[in-house]
Chains A and B, each alone.
Chain A
Amino acid sequence: MVKSRLKRYAYLNARLRSRISTVLTDQVFDRMLRAKTLSEAFHHLTDTRFAYLEEVYTRTGDLKMVELELFSREIELLRDLDRNAEDEIKQILKALSLQYEIENLKGMLRLWFQFRIKHTGIRSSTGYLYRKTIVHDIDVDGIVNAGNLQDIMNLLEHTPYKNVIAPVVPEHGTIESLFPLENALDIFFYHQVFAGIEGLDDTDGGIAERLLGIEIDIENLSRIMRFTSFYSMKTEELSDILIPGGRSFDRSTLLDVLHRDNPRQRIESLLSGKFPEWKVIVSPDREQAKNRLLLLESVLQGILEKEVHRLLLGYPFTIGILLAYYFIKRKETRRLVTLLNAKQYGISFERGMEAI
């Protein structure tokens, strides 16, 4: 057992730990945020693993090209890991790769939607879409230029996505928002990750389920916040947008927190059973958070980070290293992209800091 674990995870562990050790520090983010222009912000990446991004920027002057490069490098890494992984791990890697493919597909659908449904014209080019195959062959130009949703489904005939979006496409074939499609794709992604986990043994499966469960809880909270705050969605409509598989909270629990005047007591009872360490994470000032669910989300983010940290310090030969890397990397990429966009649009240091 130990031997097989070593064999399975030794390369993965070495490769990912070396990458985790080069994750951008807060000091680099701080310096980048303090930079007066985007060019100067990029230059702070010179001595980091992201030096190639500065090269792309100085060559093109186009932030979106930089984002595309970042996107493609991440896919390359998953491919590289896949080449050296055993079958059980390949399933997980494939599922994680789907996230990139789904993000790219969403990008195509958004361009199509702007052009066909909103008739606003496509200002941003399809050149920012990733064109190589990630998991399935997808005709990028075909989807962006498709006449209608039926054409899109035909183009997705040989991918699982046709069956994913078919149930949410109305019979008359027209839609007012892309949200149902995107939501269906997100749910499909998590479903695939859980399917990938099924092939793992109990130890790995337990670790993966725990982490993904917290991740889904955070995503669900974020959705409730967005759709109740910005789209005035009614409570009864929320159940359709929640992703199944959360670790701690079902729909009614989340909605209960949403309607409480003082959520601390409820959050305390929710968390203390499953995450005894939560009290360490919640500092008193967090209680002052404007949004009630924001408090819960920040607690869960803290718990996720703590879990990831624990995994990195623990026994190294488990699926934990891959998932830890996945979460760390995703956070790093989001922070970096947010920061660069903040610089592009001249956002102040304080607001930028808040955003990352």
Chain B
Amino acid sequence: MIFTTRMRFLSAVVLDTDMEAVTRELLQQGVLDFISIRELNILERNRVETVEPKVSEARLKESRRRIESFLDMVDIRPGYEHALSIDEFEPLDPDAVERELDGIGTEVQGRRNRQGELQQDILKLEEIRRQFDAYQNLQEGLLSRSQYSFLSIQAGYIHPRHVQEFTRAIAPYPSVYLDMGAPDKPAFLLISLKRDEARIRSILSSVGWTDVEFPEEVRQSKDDALSHIDTKLAALRENRDRLNREVTEVLQGRAERLQDIWKRCALNELYYKIQSRFGKTARTVLFSGWLPASKQKDLEKGILDVTEGIAFLEWKDPDTAVRMEGVSDVPVQMKNPGFLRPFQAMVQNYAIPEYGTIDPTPVVAVVYLMMFGLMYGDAGHGLVIMVAGIIGWVLRKRSKKGTILSQLITWCGGAAVITGILYGSYFGMPWFDPLWFDFHGLISGHPRTGNLRDIYDVLKITIYFGIGVITLGLFFNWINSIRRKRWFHLFFGKAGLLGGWIYGAGIYIAFYFVRHDYKGLPPGRFIIYLVAVPVVLLFLKAPVEFQLHRKEHPEKAFTPFTVIDFFMEWIVEILEIFSGYLANTLSFMRVAGLGIAHASLMIAFFSIARMVSPGDGISIGGIAVLVAGNAMVIVLEGLSAGIQALRLNYYEFFNKYFTGSGKAYAPISLKGSLN
């Protein structure tokens, strides 16, 4: 947990007849982070060929993603975890899968295309409605002969045998016709766009249209026509929406089948993904990869079992493997308990730590939550975000979505509840006495209890806190340097022993100065031991580095300018160390700043609430102000405190020791996520 997991490197040779059984075993155990055989030195030496899987991994991935896309359209997400079992593996015919998916795709697209056609009809009809609605009544439309009239409205008879022909011919044009006659003598009111008038006239003459006059009551109204258009529009919209529902039904109806194919695709993809990392000779198959040392025995036993002992397995520790096999990176596994997942994600978001160094996740959890709590100390507000986090956690878990952010919010809420109790603050109100100090009282100048009497005391606490965090960072750096055998870095690095010495000296001198009323410094000999000695030693950094580089680059010549370079580097290094550490430490004052802002905002909202309340108590208006104020503080301060705590971790803590050059351990496993 404190350090990244110890890894082992496996080089294996098995008989080609055992390839399928070994693949199954490797997939079943799911612990090997494969190194493609192409990346190893062995390829050139022994002329090992790579294995071409029967089905391309890319093709299977494409089909799997397509299924996920179909299922996602109906809010179904195939399970990534614990859903796959090697027992269900059977080779897949990719052509058949693609044909089946194409069929579903065509079915869906066909309905969408029909929806599109209906949408065009809707738009045309809406155009007619918009323009028809502009008329006072039908009479105005009938009489309109102005060139600015967009509609052509006409009434007429058609012989019953031509009705079908008429309706068919008129269909492609944006138009509405109302049947206003009797079955034996059909009469129509036809509304179309004037721009189509010429074509529609030709249709009307071909069906024997005879113009007629409508009765006065029909002409004085447009309601019938509008209602007819609306009915037609409603029917079109319903048809369009029905097709959309049909798409959902089609996909829901196939969901079970799709999930089944998905499972098979995923299994095949993983299976052939493993084989694509294999190499082969005439009779044997070779593979290599990394796994946690704790898994070595199980994998060895599994492979030997399925090959009946006919397998050559060579295990190497990371240093030997890097030296002998030419592999570049040892993958990093960060193994922390599940409840620390949000903080592990926070570390990984910054970078993956280098193999063999400290995994700071547990420390980050403590430091981050302490920072957040100190900035956001209110038990009421904390409780609100904790409940919000838990609700989000449950809801997202139900919908099989990531819960890391919700977990983090819950943790932060919990931290705020604790510091809120320590500060005695509950929605900005002093319901109970503080267990540590009265933050609100301190800000307003009337602390109820506690040893802390003013804001400077709070600032002092955060400075102490900052010194503690930075010192921890330095300590981690020394451990990392020793473990990685980086002696130069351990001694001369900015966060190395010399840097730490100077930082410690700086702190001592600063506190001495403050304790002596900003008038006295430690005695001269102390200053020499504390500052002058490490500063002088620091001068050796550039020459030592030059000498070390020279071993690798003998062409690098020593000239008089080199000495000037040494001197300049020394000066810059000193300035960087002094200003850097000072800035890093003072940066932690933001913790107090955010806490002060939180308390001040609440005090301000209470003042406003009292101002809007007429008597001594708090009126309804005042309560509204308090509710809105609390909501604002909960959201805004929550965001600020969360971001600032993250920033302090990343910039003031991580940069002291964190070497984020690691590569995440990514075994091919049935439980891993597919991308």
- Chain A interface (Cβ < 8 Å from any Cβ of B): 31, 34-40, 43-44, 46, 57-63, 65, 115-116, 119, 121-122, 124-128, 141-142, 144-145, 147, 151
Contact = CB atoms under 8 A, between A and B. Distances in A.
Nearest to B196: A121
A37 B109 contact: yes
A141 B174 contact: no
Contacts of A126: 123, 127
Contact of A37 (B108, B124, B193, B241): B108
Given A115-B195, A121-B196, A142-B148, 16 more contacts: A31-B65, A36-B105, A37-B105, A40-B66, A57-B112, A60-B116, A60-B240, A65-B119, A121-B195, A121-B199, A125-B124, A125-B127, A126-B127, A127-B124, A141-B150, A145-B150
A115 B174 CA distance: 14
A128 B112 CA distance: 18
A341 B113 CA distance: 13
Given A36-B66, A37-B105, A46-B72, A145 B111 contact: no
Nearest to A122: B195
The 4 closest A-B pairs by CB, nearest first: A61-B115, A127-B123, A61-B116, A125-B123
B108 A44 contact: no
Contacts of B196: 121-122
B358 interface: no
17 contacts: A31-B65, A36-B102, A39-B105, A39-B109, A43-B69, A61-B114, A63-B116, A65-B119, A115-B195, A121-B199, A122-B196, A125-B120, A125-B174, A127-B123, A141-B150, A145-B150, A147-B147
B106 interface: yes
B673 to A, nearest CB: 15
B109 A38 contact: yes
Contacts, number: 96
A58 to B, nearest CB: 6
Nearest to B98: A36
B112 A145 contact: no
B502 interface: no
A63 B70 CA distance: 20
Nearest to B113: A61
Nearest to B149: A145
Nearest to A57: B112
B645 interface: no
Contacts of B433: none
B195 A145 contact: yes
Contacts of B194: 145
B453 to A, nearest CB: 38
A46 B65 CA distance: 14
B636 interface: no
A287 to B, nearest CB: 33
A60 B130 CA distance: 20
Contacts of B120: 62, 124-125
A36 B118 CA distance: 23
Contacts of A151: 147-148
Given A37-B106, A62-B119, A121-B199, A127 B72 contact: no
Nearest to B109: A37
A33 B120 CA distance: 26
B595 to A, nearest CB: 26
B247 A60 contact: no
B73 interface: yes
Contact of A59 (B113, B124, B244): B244
B243 interface: yes
Contacts of A39: 73, 105, 108-109, 112, 247
A323 to B, nearest CB: 30
B244 A58 contact: yes
Nearest to B241: A59
Interface string B108-150: 1101111111111011101100110000000000000001101
B119 A61 contact: yes
Given A127-B123, A145-B195, A147-B147, A40 B112 contact: no
B66 A61 contact: no
Nearest to A145: B150
A40 B69 contact: yes
Residue of B109, B147, B247 with most chain A CB atoms under a 10 A cut-off: B109
B73 A43 contact: yes
B62 interface: yes
Contacts of B131: 141
Residue of A34, A60, A116, A142 with most chain B CB atoms under a 10 A cut-off: A60
A215 B430 CA distance: 63
B163 to A, nearest CB: 24
A61 B123 contact: no
A35 B120 CA distance: 25
Contacts of A36: 66, 101-102, 105
A230 B195 CA distance: 31
B123 A128 contact: yes
Given A44-B69, A61-B111, A61-B118, A127 B243 contact: no
Nearest to A43: B69
A119 B202 CA distance: 15
A61 B112 CA distance: 5
A221 B113 CA distance: 38
A39 B248 CA distance: 12
Nearest to A119: B198
Given A125-B120, A125-B127, A60 B174 contact: no
Contacts of A125: 120, 123-124, 127, 174
B603 to A, nearest CB: 28
Contacts of A63: 116
